[in-house]
């Protein structure tokens, strides 16, 4: 909840200097923060202070202090701005923002508070298998995989079930075996196993379907690699009737073997028959043999995803005014208040003669010029910054920070985890989408390159001649009217969905593939923008690496 405090009147020169705040100052500034723009505090309850001075007094103007988190309170404006910080009892560090406003000037100060553990909140006990384990009504055996860092005495954790139907717990080094009894009830039931080690606890949820008075066809996996066996199970009334059943290909109505191994990719649909009954269809996706494993979700019940605004800097090495924007974005990326809530990429479209230019960048330019053409800030010059996919305000150097604040969100409504691998001329991505709301989604994948050395016109510092996060090309379809990529489909709230994408890589003699990575852009229809697709979540990933969901 936001809290606003004001100091009425005209303040002339009130300050207690700690650090130079010139990064906030321009020739027309009325307000200057003289202490640091980032204040670091410990986990304990404490107080803080921001020092400032009024450069140009304005008659009747008020100094206001606005805070965006409830753990910063008791703000008082006087010769300095003082505030209280509540103790952080969680295992995660946190950041809040105090914005000082005087007349038309605003300056944000970040408050960084350490976690209760003084670190990142990571524990030495980690579950490496799925945290949600699903069973049919028949029941069966389960296995939890875990690791314990620095376990020099090779001690074993404790594993305690929450329900009597979770039985036969056996703890071994790096694994915990258990059994789930048959569920004769028609109701689904949920239990858990608490894994504890030296005061640390991780909970694994066990979910079992209820007995159904209809024939069910289930498979060992809905996504299977070429060359891997897949096994089917047929269930009726909580009984395994596989041995008395037959399984058919839905398209040919021919009986198939069980287990079955595939020699080519594709989507396959099956049904089962038993004692005159026929099951619903089951769809199996057969993916390339090189497909990486999906990233395990360490927080399956968490739907508070971190939101990162997508900022595209439209620029060029022959643009003499572009270094100013580049410097501003660098400062934002190093500011703790912004660096966890933005992803910045660079589209070199100013001219076609530079090394950083590529044909796809001109498509990005055309797309955003169309999006922004009706705004009072259209895309009409360089440098320019655009936000997400539909936000129609095209910012310049002096407005990029304020517009980032306008589109900033604390929580994303959906997120996606990524595992990637190169297979020949293709990039294969295993992606899991997790949503807190019911809606459709699209996914885009764009290749980026780091470490391009090319002289930047107007550069005032040597680092400006090094170019990173440069858009090379889009792996998913783009046009001047749509860059949102591939259709994922319609998901219900609190649902997860897995897909595998095999995307063809492009080559160019001037590109350094070893310095390439990619950004994934997840979007959904926005009521604010006539149900056109707007960015929901963005994540960057190195080629061949994994990227888990980023929780808030």
Provide the pLDDT for residue 71.
92
pLDDT digits (tens, 9 = 90+) for 201-241: 899 999 999 998 899 999 999 999 999 999 999 999 999 99
CATH of 411-445+475-547, one of 3.40.30.10, 1.20.140.10, 3.40.50.2300, 2.60.40.10: 2.60.40.10
pLDDT at residue 54 tops 70: yes
Provide the pLDDT for residue 25.
40
d(CA 167, CA 176): 12
- Decide: residue 2, CB within 10 A, 0-12 exposed, 13-18 middle, 19+ buried: exposed
Q: What is the average pLDDT across 71-84?
A: 91
Neighbours of 280 (CB within 10 A): 10
d(CA 14, CA 212): 74
Most distant CA atoms of the chain, gap in Å: 90
Provide the pLDDT for residue 11.
30
CATH fold for the domain made of 3-113:
Immunoglobulin-like (2.60.40)
pLDDT at residue 250 tops 90: yes
Paired residues of 542 in beta bridges: 517
Provide the pLDDT for residue 173.
92
pLDDT cut 70: percent of the chain above it: 93
pLDDT digits (tens, 9 = 90+) for 312-358: 999 999 999 999 999 999 999 999 999 899 999 999 999 898 899 99
- pLDDT level of residue 41 (50, 70, 90 thresholds): confident
Of 87, 63, 75, 94, give the one whose Cα is nearest residue 2.
75
Provide the pLDDT for residue 27.
46
pLDDT digits (tens, 9 = 90+) for 477-524: 999 999 999 999 999 999 999 999 999 999 898 899 899 999 999 999
CATH code 2.60.40.1080 region(s) in the chain: 216-287
User: Backbone phi, then psi, for 529, in 5-degree steps?
Assistant: -120, 45
pLDDT at residue 118 tops 70: no
pLDDT at residue 10 tops 50: no
Residues 6+ apart with CB under 8 A from 366: 480
CATH fold for the domain made of 216-287:
Immunoglobulin-like (2.60.40)
CATH code 3.40.30.10 region(s) in the chain: 307-407
DSSP 242: G
More confident position, 197 or 364: 364
Provide the pLDDT for residue 172.
94
pLDDT at residue 164 tops 60: yes
User: Backbone phi, then psi, for 419, in 5-degree steps?
Assistant: -125, 135
**Mean pLDDT score across all residues of the chain:** 90
307-407 is classed CATH 3.40.30.10: yes
Backbone torsion region of residue 154, taken as left when φ is above 0, otherwise alpha when ψ lies between -120 and 50, otherwise beta: left
pLDDT digits (tens, 9 = 90+) for 96-116: 889 989 888 888 888 888 776
User: Backbone phi, then psi, for 366, in 5-degree steps?
Assistant: -65, -40
pLDDT cut 90: percent of the chain above it: 72
Provide the pLDDT for residue 200.
87
Q: What is the average pLDDT across 381-386?
A: 96
d(CA 244, CA 81): 77
Paired residues of 31 in beta bridges: 54
Provide the pLDDT for residue 28.
55
Whether residue 380 contacts residue 365, with contact meaning beta carbons closer than 8 Å, is answered with no
Provide the pLDDT for residue 7.
34
Provide the pLDDT for residue 471.
97
Q: How far from chain centre, in Å, is Cα 469?
A: 17
d(CA 523, CA 342): 15
Whether residue 351 contacts residue 359, with contact meaning beta carbons closer than 8 Å, is answered with no
Q: What is the average pLDDT across 174-182?
A: 96
Angle between helices 322-334 and 400-407 (to 10 degrees): 50
CATH assignment of 125-208? 2.60.40.10
Lowest-pLDDT range of 30-39, 61-70, 79-88, 454-463? 30-39
- pLDDT level of residue 552 (50, 70, 90 thresholds): confident
Tokens for 227, please give them: 């060359």
pTM reported for the whole predicted model? 0.74
β pairing state of 309-315 and 342-348:
parallel
CATH code 2.60.40.10 region(s) in the chain: 3-113, 125-208, 411-445+475-547
d(CA 250, CA 271): 6
């Amino acid at each position: 909840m936001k809290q606003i405090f004001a100091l009425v009147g005209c303040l002339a020169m009130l300050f207690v200097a700690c650090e130079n705040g010139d990064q906030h100052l321009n020739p027309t500034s009325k307000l200057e923060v003289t202490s640091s723009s980032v204040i670091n505090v410990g986990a304990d309850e404490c107080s803080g202070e921001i020092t400032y001075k009024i450069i140009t007094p304005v008659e009747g103007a008020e100094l206001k202090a606005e805070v965006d988190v409830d753990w910063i309170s008791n703000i008082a404006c006087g010769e300095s701005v003082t505030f209280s910080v509540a103790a952080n009892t969680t295992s995660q560090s946190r950041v809040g923002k105090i914005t000082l406003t005087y007349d038309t000037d605003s300056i944000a100060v970040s408050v960084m508070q350490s976690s209760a553990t003084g670190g990142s909140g990571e524990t030495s006990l980690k579950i490496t298998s799925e945290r949600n384990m699903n069973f049919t009504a028949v029941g069966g055996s389960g296995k939890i995989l875990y690791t314990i860092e620095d376990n020099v005495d090779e001690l074993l954790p404790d594993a305690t079930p929450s329900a009597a139907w979770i039985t036969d717990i056996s703890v071994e080094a790096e694994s915990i075996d258990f059994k789930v009894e048959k569920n004769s009830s028609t109701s689904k039931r949920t239990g858990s196993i608490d894994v504890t080690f030296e005061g640390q606890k991780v909970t694994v949820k066990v979910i079992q379907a209820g007995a159904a008075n209809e024939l069910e066809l289930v498979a060992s996996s809905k996504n299977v690699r070429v060359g891997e066996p897949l096994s089917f199970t047929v269930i009726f009334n909580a009984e395994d009737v596989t041995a008395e059943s037959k399984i058919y290909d839905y398209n040919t109505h021919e009986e198939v073997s069980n287990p079955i191994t595939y020699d080519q990719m594709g989507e396959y649909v099956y049904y089962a028959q038993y004692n005159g009954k026929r099951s619903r269809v089951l769809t199996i996706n057969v993916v390339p043999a090189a497909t990486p494993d999906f990233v395990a979700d360490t927080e399956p019940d968490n739907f508070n995803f971190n939101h990162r605004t997508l900022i595209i800097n439209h620029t060029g090495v022959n643009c003499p005014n572009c270094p100013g924007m580049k410097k501003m974005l660098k400062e934002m990326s190093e500011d703790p208040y912004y660096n966890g809530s933005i992803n910045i990429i660079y589209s070199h479209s100013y001219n076609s003669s530079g090394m950083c230019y590529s044909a796809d960048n001109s498509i990005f330019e055309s797309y955003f010029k169309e999006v922004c053409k009706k705004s009072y800030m259209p895309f009409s010059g360089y440098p320019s910054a655009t936000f997400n996919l539909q936000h129609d305000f095209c910012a310049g150097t002096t407005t990029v920070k304020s517009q980032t604040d306008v589109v900033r969100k604390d929580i994303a409504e959906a997120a996606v985890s990524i595992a990637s691998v190169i297979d020949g001329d293709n990039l294969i991505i295993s992606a899991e989408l997790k949503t807190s709301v019911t809606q459709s989604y699209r996914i885009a994948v764009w290749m980026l390159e780091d470490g391009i050395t090319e002289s930047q016109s107007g550069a005032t510092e040597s680092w400006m001649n090094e170019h990173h996060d440069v858009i090379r090309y889009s792996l998913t379809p783009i046009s001047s009217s749509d860059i949102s990529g591939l259709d994922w489909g319609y998901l219900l709230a609190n649902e997860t969905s897995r897909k595998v994408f095999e995307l063809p890589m492009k080559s160019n003699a001037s590109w350094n593939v070893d310095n390439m990575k990619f950004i994934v852009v997840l979007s959904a229809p926005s009521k604010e923008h006539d149900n056109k697709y707007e960015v929901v979540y963005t994540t960057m990933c190195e080629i061949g690496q994994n990227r888990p969901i980023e929780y808030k």
